[in-house]
Amino acid sequence: MLNQLLKVKPWPLFVLLAGLLSISLFLIIAQVFSSIDFSNPKPIDPDVLAIKGFYQRPLSAIYNLIALAWMYAVGVELQKKISPELQTDAKIFKIVVIATAAYYIVFSVLLPLTMTNVTPEFVSILIKIRTPFYLATFYCYYFVAKVYKTILLQRKVSIGEHIGEFFLVMFLPIGVLMFQSKINSVAKGEDAASLK
């Protein structure tokens, strides 16, 4: 199934990711503005936002899971197209992707249930739990960018050579749009050296 993700045309994948992200962000903005009583300015009640945020979190989780599946496909499946001496060990990458996916699933289900009566201690614990997963996501961006550039150049690459790809992966819908046509060609068996 992951190989099929590598063969998807760029535009449908871009529209899916950008659409999910846009709808999710629109729901967040709509929730905030619908919670404001402009006739009586006062702080927004977090309990109200938590209940309304219940609809946004599954969309956000679906976006993140599709993004992680795409990164996993590029990082693991596409790496098989590289000669063995150029391949990067993907064990840590696999663990990070699976743990991050599990985190997004649990987070999208449990957070709306725990957002009533939020205390500063709860926010502190939440930040401590979330920070390693944000760092893990940056590792995923790094790994995918490195694999992609290694495929194109057919040699070991330094971070300076794939920093541009790192930022494109970081802004994933745009990165998918930029990378996917070359990834399609490599997945179909074309010579990666001709794609530079």
Residue pair 107/61 in contact by the 8 Å Cβ criterion: yes
Q: Residue 190: what pLDDT?
A: 66
On whether residue 23 sits in a domain, the answer given is yes
On whether residue 72 sits in a domain, the answer given is yes
State the amino acid at position 119 in one-letter form.
T
Alpha-carbon gap, residue 130 to 124, rounded angstroms: 10
On whether residue 53 sits in a domain, the answer given is yes
Distances 132 to 90, 113, 125, 137, 139 between C-alpha atoms, Å: 19, 22, 12, 9, 10
What's the average pLDDT block by block, 10 residues per block, for the chain (196 residues)? 74 84 80 68 59 67 85 85 80 90 79 63 76 88 89 85 88 84 77 56
On whether residue 61 sits in a domain, the answer given is yes
On whether residue 195 sits in a domain, the answer given is no
Closest CA to 62 of 108, 126, 93: 108
Among left, alpha and beta (phi > 0; psi -120 to 50; other), residue 191 is beta
On whether residue 193 sits in a domain, the answer given is no
Determine what percent of the chain is predicted with pLDDT higher than 90. Answer: 4
Residue pair 195/185 in contact by the 8 Å Cβ criterion: yes
| Residue tagged 């006739």 (tokens) | 39
Tokens linked to 113: 């249930």
In terms of residue numbers, what domain contains 126?
Answer: 2-185
Please write the tens of the pLDDT for every residue from 120-155.
Answer: 777 677 778 888 888 888 999 999 888 888 888 888
Residue pair 149/157 in contact by the 8 Å Cβ criterion: yes
On whether residue 47 sits in a domain, the answer given is yes
Q: Residue 159: what pLDDT?
A: 86
Q: Residue 111: what pLDDT?
A: 67
Residue pair 144/75 in contact by the 8 Å Cβ criterion: yes
- Structural domain count, the chain: 1
Q: Residue 107: what pLDDT?
A: 76
Tokens linked to 132: 């390693």
Residue 24 φ/ψ, nearest 5 degrees: -60, -45
The three-state secondary structure class of 35 is: coil
Alpha-carbon gap, residue 168 to 174, rounded angstroms: 6
On whether residue 190 sits in a domain, the answer given is no
pTM above 0.85, yes or no: no
Contacts 24+ apart (CB under 8 A), 111-114: 111/57, 112/50, 112/51, 112/53, 112/54, 112/57
